Amino acid sequence: GENVEQHPSTLSVQEGDSAVIKCTYSDSASNYFPWYKQELGKRPQLIIDIRSNVGEKKDQRIAVTLNKTAKHFSLHITETQPEDSAVYFCAASLGAGSYQLTFGKGTKLSVIP
Amino acid sequence: GAVVSQHPSWVICKSGTSVKIECRSLDFQATTMFWYRQFPKQSLMLMATSNEGSKATYEQGVEKDKFLINHASLTLSTLTVTSAHPEDSSFYICSARGSGGLTYEQYFGPGTRLTVT
């Protein structure tokens, strides 16, 4: 099955700096890679996603890059703000044609004012 | 759009009793719903995949007779934890995927915190 590794597990940055979270996956047939933000006690919220036919996608301060050859994808947050503090999860679809997701273990991001 | 609700948001029950959790897609039809379990400070673990009108597919290690899933309509799936024990205490979250062949996005409910005493 799919295995998703996520690093780092915790990340502290100064407000205004950039944050990068990296994930690797094992199944070369995976073709959908979402990122979720989860605040304490709340639901995971989809913040950005990317399909395997695209190398990069950007939405304001958030961007995701995908390297299919190396089987890794990354979340980039620029100009971080205190409200970006949360746990971020990457995920990968379970092979081609599957809608199931395998999640990484999460990264706790702290943005220091 | 893409709002998923879950009820109840929290529940406390006694050991040996059963608890039903509802997951509803409010503004879209959900072909597939997923049930996850999340322990404190841990990731989301998929328990089962539920397709409308068919039996749920359970992940390895998840007891289907203990965690009963029913997906009776395109907007409602239920998870019943039968004969609950303290080790079943956890945060249960559902997600829903919209209809349409290329729709991968999953939208999550707010979760249900179950405490078994």
pLDDT tens per residue across span B48-83: 999 888 889 999 999 999 999 998 888 999 999 999
Among the partner-chain residues B32, B44, B97, the one whose CB lies closest to the CB of A44 is B44
Residue A95's pLDDT is 72
What pLDDT sits at residue B102?
A: 57
C-alpha distances out from residue A50 to A31, A54, A59, B13, B105, Å: 8, 7, 11, 41, 10
Cα-flanking dihedrals φ and ψ of residue B87, to 5°?
A: -70, -10
Band of residue B31 on the pLDDT scale cut at 50, 70, 90: confident
Which token pair is B108? 């999550």
What is the per-residue pLDDT for A96?
Answer: 65
Residue A53: its pLDDT value, please?
86
Nearest to A103 by CA among A93, A19, A74, B57: A93
* Chain A interface mutation, best of B44, B49, B99, highest count of A Cβ atoms under 10 Å: B44
CB pairs under 8 A between A and B: 45
Task: Give the confidence band of A25 by pLDDT, cuts at 50, 70, 90.
Answer: very high
Residue-level pLDDT at B41: 87
Residues of chain A positioned with their CB less than 8 A from the CB of B111: 42-43
- Nearest-CA distance B116 → chain A (Å): 18
For residue B34, the chain A residues in CB contact (below 8 A) are 100-101
Q: Which of B32, B106, B107 is the best mutation test for A, with the most CBs of A within 10 A?
A: B106
Chain A residues closer than 8 Å to B26 by CB:
none
> How close B19 gets to chain A, by Cα (Å)?
20
CA distance B97 to B46: 14
What is the mean predicted confidence (pLDDT) over A91-102?
84
